[in-house]
Chain A
């Protein structure tokens, strides 16, 4: 039965002409949009993680704190969940950094080092950095020996808002494209099936089952999905290489992308064709 469906599906795939071309184009456009959106989503995620990796919480300590208290405090902070690393900046190191950034004149003028020792805390990636960072900063603030805690809260909020809105937009684009494409695929396959009603009629009137009549169209949908996936992959690589290389959107597409697009295409094609064929065959 499977070989029959695959063979007859291939025959339909080759013979459908303009309707087949429409199905192929609709599937390919969908897969291109999905491919670009997915790539865009992962790039936004990478950029966000990269940016968040550069953010740090800085905890300023009491200048009179002794080295044993520093060690304990460092361990306590490190043990907080979501904390990835804790680096101690002594008064001397803080002064060196200050001199590197602003020159030594000011410190020389003061004739003493007013800069406090501090911890630079880096955070592990999290789903809700604003919340996590705020909670962690508040906990550190309450620890004995800590005088003040600062981090770029507003900027963090903006980055997170950007990430969320980009993810939401891409999700909406992909969902709408999928719905439209699914509808269009069903319409074109439905028309394609109308043009092959002679085949369906003969199979059913000769005593074939509905599955036998429907199988070739499901296989045909799969072939269109695979062809659409290959076409979309080639287009994405082509766009990446020729047009958008500088944009970094589709350049360097990983090799699992074509496999993913072909699989999605085959699933959408099979589902659309199976549904359309089922509706067409019902009652025959």
Chain B
């Protein structure tokens, strides 16, 4: 479970988020909806602890683990981040390595899992339907395939929740549906989903809970 408790953060220019609170239960599928600048990405960065909240707390609970962002020690930060899978709009694949190497790099960040990183990377690529392209370079992939690789990288360490920032906004309808279908499969398999989007209609099939942001505030949850 992810709990956002009265979280605020301001950028020097004045924008940011103000006093936001909501929960994301295990296995839940939620959309974070809002226009550009509403604070969706800021919220993701706060959840992943790329930035620290000025006020309020983020709480993560999974299996027997419970961490509060305010009391998070630096040595626990990798564990916190491994509990979350993150997918970016621009996928952020490393161009100087193959698909398999991109996913394996993430897998190497968690040595506590039983299978070795390569086996886990191949398994994650299988889940996203790309087991036939492990040695392709990111530049050789279509936009949809690249996003699938980004998803494989995000799930390779078996996170309890996946945060995806505008995962389909730059994809055509057909490819977008494929990616959404993949996200639904992962959700059905037990991974909670928090998807930031300004196109909620694309996710109608998932019957998601909608958390609506406007000018840094939650106006519906």
Task: State the A residues within 8 Å of B (CB).
Answer: 4, 11, 15, 198-199, 201-209, 212, 284
Contacts and interface: CB of A to CB of B under 8 A. Distances in A.
Contact of B106 (A11, A206, A209, A284): A206
A207 B153 CA distance: 12
8 tightest CB-CB pairs across the interface, nearest first? A207-B82, A208-B109, A206-B106, A207-B81, A207-B109, A206-B109, A207-B78, A209-B78
A206 B92 contact: no
Nearest to A284: B50
Nearest to B96: A15
B110 A207 contact: yes
Contacts of B79: 207
Contacts of A11: 96-97
B48 interface: yes
B94 interface: yes
A15 B95 CA distance: 12
Q: How large is the interface on B (under 10, 10 to 19, 20 to 34, 35 or more residues)?
A: 10 to 19
B130 interface: no
B78 A208 contact: yes
A68 to B, nearest CB: 83
Contacts of A205: 48, 50, 81, 86
B105 interface: yes
Interface in B92-119: 92, 94, 96-97, 105-106, 108-110
Given A206-B106, A212-B109, A199 B94 contact: yes
A203 B79 CA distance: 13
A6 to B, nearest CB: 13
Contact of B105 (A15, A202, A209, A284): A202
Interface of B: 48, 50, 78-82, 86, 92, 94, 96-97, 105-106, 108-110, 153, 157
Which of B81, B109, B153 has most A Cβ within 10 Å? B109
Contacts of A207: 78-82, 106, 109-110, 157
B81 A206 contact: yes
10 contacts: A11-B97, A15-B96, A198-B94, A203-B109, A204-B78, A205-B48, A206-B105, A207-B80, A207-B106, A208-B78
Nearest to B159: A207
Contact of A198 (B78, B92, B109): B92
A208 B94 contact: no
Contacts of A204: 78, 81
Given A207-B110, A208-B108, A212-B109, A202 B92 contact: yes
Given A4-B108, A212-B109, A206 B94 contact: no
A64 B153 CA distance: 101
Nearest to B48: A205
A212 B117 CA distance: 15
A71 to B, nearest CB: 78
Contacts of B97: 11
Contact of B92 (A15, A201, A212, A284): A201
Given A4-B108, A212-B109, A206 B96 contact: no
B159 to A, nearest CB: 9
Given A11-B96, A205-B48, 14 more contacts: A11-B97, A199-B94, A202-B105, A202-B153, A204-B81, A206-B105, A206-B153, A207-B78, A207-B81, A207-B110, A207-B157, A208-B109, A212-B108, A284-B50
A129 to B, nearest CB: 57
A199 B50 CA distance: 15
Nearest to B111: A1
B94 A202 contact: yes
Contacts of B108: 4, 208, 212
B125 to A, nearest CB: 15
Contacts of B157: 206-207
A219 to B, nearest CB: 15
A205 B91 CA distance: 13
